[in-house]
Structure 1
Amino acid sequence: MKITVKVKPNSSQSKITQNSEGIWIINLKSPPVDGKANEELISLLAKQFKVKKSQVIIKLGLSSKNKVIEIIDS
């Protein structure tokens, strides 16, 4: 399954919401430095979709706020 996400790093709390267009808005506490925000993003999505972290792959937008994520079902 592929989802489109918009990441907001340096937020006061980590949370996941979905807007009316089906885009996931993900607030992260981590700063976008040294891949910390991407690590937190993968952890949050793995928990949200109940999969292992290794099953969450950033397909597009590694250094962008807008990303395409692939979640591999086991």
Structure 2
Amino acid sequence: MKLQQVGEDCLLPVRLHPGARKNAITGEHDGALKMALTAPPVDGKANEALLKFVAEWLGIAPSRVQLRSGQTSRTKVVLITRIPVAEVAAKIAAAAG
């Protein structure tokens, strides 16, 4: 996983699978966290769902999660403010089982 610490923020690379049966973290793909979301890839719905899912998963306010790049791509970078990389890495490890 290619997590990056930028000041007090964390950059999380994500490989998104929109239109899935359920919202879930499904593994890793080419250095990015693979996520499946039920939202369709239309009118930014999958991007909105991604940011909401990441905030809920990390237990933080949605306002602390932003899409940094990849607006129309399956490969995205999510900016999570005021969180250390180690904390995000621990959540990823817990989700992996």
Q: TM-score, normalised by structure 2?
A: 0.69
8 Å Cα contact 2:13/2:76 also seen in 1: yes
Comparing both structures, which one devotes a greater share of its residues to helix?
Answer: 2
Aligned Cα root-mean-square deviation (Å): 1.6
Is 1:37 equivalent to 2:51 in the alignment? no
* 1:63 and 2:39 aligned: no
In 1, Cα distance between equivalents of 2:68 and 2:58: 17
Which segments of 5 or more consecutive residues in structure 2 lack a partner in the other structure? 1-9, 84-97
> Percent identity over the alignment?
32
Larger C-alpha radius of gyration, 1 or 2?
A: 2
Counterpart-to-counterpart distance in 1, 2:26 and 2:80: 17
Moved over 6 A (4+): none
Tell me the CA shift for residue 20 of structure 1.
Answer: 7.5
- TM-score (norm. length: structure 1): 0.88
What are structure 1's unaligned runs of at least 5 residues? Answer: none
Distance 1:54 1:28 in 2: 20
- Alpha-carbon separation, structure 1, partners of 2:19 and 2:13: 20
